[in-house]
Amino acid sequence: MRRERKPVIGRSDGLPHASVATFELGNALGEWGCPVCRVTRRAAERWVWTLLYEHSGDPAVHQAMAETGGVCAAHGDLVQRVVAGRQLASSGAVARLYHTVVDAVRQRLDEGSRKVSGSRCPLCVREQEMGKHAAGILAEALKDVAWQEAYAESDGVCLPHLELCLAALRGRQRSWLRQDARQRLDALQYRLSEYCRKQRYDVDACITDEESDSWNEALWRVGGMWSDTLLVRDDH
Ligand SMILES: [Zn+2]
Ligand SMILES: [Zn+2]
């Protein structure tokens, strides 16, 4: 994540919500970028922390980690950030889990298995599930007019999560969300074209902040949002 907008504290306060997940989504609407990506990332960080703090000695968890072959490169980066940035999540816990992972990989290598590295990254699988779940909750919440108004003022969701939200909606609400997304894409395309145009040597025009940020916006809006800092801290 490159841009930080001042969070609208308690954005959720004025919204009807039925669960902790909805409350968190409501607050995420007050921050920059895709609210579904944001709550999914927060959940992934909590998952890593809980894994390291509570489950690094659990035989069932070791077995599951051995089968999956550990986490992918992107989630390896997240594990490192959680160890470096959170209390009680120790490097020793990672070492204990990966002692088992490495042992399983050695066995698969000895057995001549075609798939030595194991199955899919457990955190990739979990993030996909959590994203689908959060998108479903957001879609349900968007049936309410107050949520629609808060959503319209937010940055909206990325395209992968837009597809999930659209799939969960029908009729008028689906049309509304599709139209909202179309308007956001129209505006983004205009900013991209203005940024490209104003960079030409023969054009003497001031590039706005939104235009200079348009390529960053295009990256997260089309592909999903990422974070190079922890979103969950020890003090909240
Ligand atoms: Zn997203
Ligand atoms: Zn992964």
Ligand having the closest approach to the CA of 71: 2
User: Would you say residue 81 lies in a domain?
Assistant: yes
Q: List, as ranges, residues with CB under 5 A of the ion ligand 2.
A: 72, 75, 121, 123-124
User: Would you say residue 171 lies in a domain?
Assistant: yes
- Give CA–CA dist 3/20, Å, rounded: 26
Percent of the chain with pLDDT over 70: 92
Check residue 117 and give its pLDDT.
Answer: 82
Lowest mean pLDDT among 61-70, 107-116, 152-161: 107-116
Give the tens place of pLDDT for each residue, 28-55. Answer: 999 999 999 999 999 999 999 999 999 9
Ligand 2 centroid from CA 74, angstroms: 6
Ligand 2 centroid from CA 70, angstroms: 9
What long-range pairs does 160-165 form, CB within 8 A, spacing at least 24? 160/131, 160/223, 160/224, 161/34, 161/36, 161/37, 161/131, 161/134, 161/135, 161/224, 164/36, 164/131, 164/132, 164/135, 164/136, 164/139, 165/36, 165/135, 165/138, 165/139
Ligand 1 centroid from CA 49, angstroms: 22
User: Would you say residue 234 lies in a domain?
Assistant: no
- Give CA–CA dist 98/104, Å, rounded: 9
Radius of gyration, alpha carbons of the chain? 21
Check residue 222 and give its pLDDT.
Answer: 97
Check residue 178 and give its pLDDT.
Answer: 97
With cut-offs at 50, 70 and 90, classify the pLDDT of residue 103: very high
* Nearest alpha-carbon partner for 66 in 128, 112, 119: 119
Check residue 121 and give its pLDDT.
Answer: 93
Ligand 2 centroid from CA 75, angstroms: 5
Check residue 16 and give its pLDDT.
Answer: 60
* Nearest alpha-carbon partner for 131 in 221, 225, 17: 225
User: Would you say residue 132 lies in a domain?
Assistant: yes
Interhelix angle 91-110/35-54, rounded to 10 degrees, is: 90
User: Would you say residue 2 lies in a domain?
Assistant: no
Residue 4 has pLDDT above 90, yes or no: no
Ligand having the closest approach to the CA of 219: 1
- Expressed in angstroms, the distance from the first to the final Cα of the chain is 19
Ligand having the closest approach to the CA of 127: 2
User: Would you say residue 125 lies in a domain?
Assistant: yes
Ligand 2 centroid from CA 200, angstroms: 40
Instruction: State phi, psi for 101 to the nearest 5 degrees.
Output: -60, -45
User: Would you say residue 1 lies in a domain?
Assistant: no
- pTM reported for the whole predicted model: 0.87
Check residue 141 and give its pLDDT.
Answer: 93
Ligand having the closest approach to the CA of 120: 2
Ligand having the closest approach to the CA of 126: 2
Q: How many domains does the chain have?
A: 1
Structural domain boundaries enclosing 122? 11-223
With cut-offs at 50, 70 and 90, classify the pLDDT of residue 1: very low
- Give CA–CA dist 232/149, Å, rounded: 27
Give the tens place of pLDDT for each residue, 138-184. Answer: 999 999 999 999 999 999 999 999 999 999 999 999 999 999 999 99
Check residue 9 and give its pLDDT.
Answer: 38
* Nearest alpha-carbon partner for 88 in 115, 113, 53: 53
Mean pLDDT, the chain, whole residue set:
90
Ligand 1 centroid from CA 220, angstroms: 8
- Give CA–CA dist 55/111, Å, rounded: 28
User: Would you say residue 4 lies in a domain?
Assistant: no
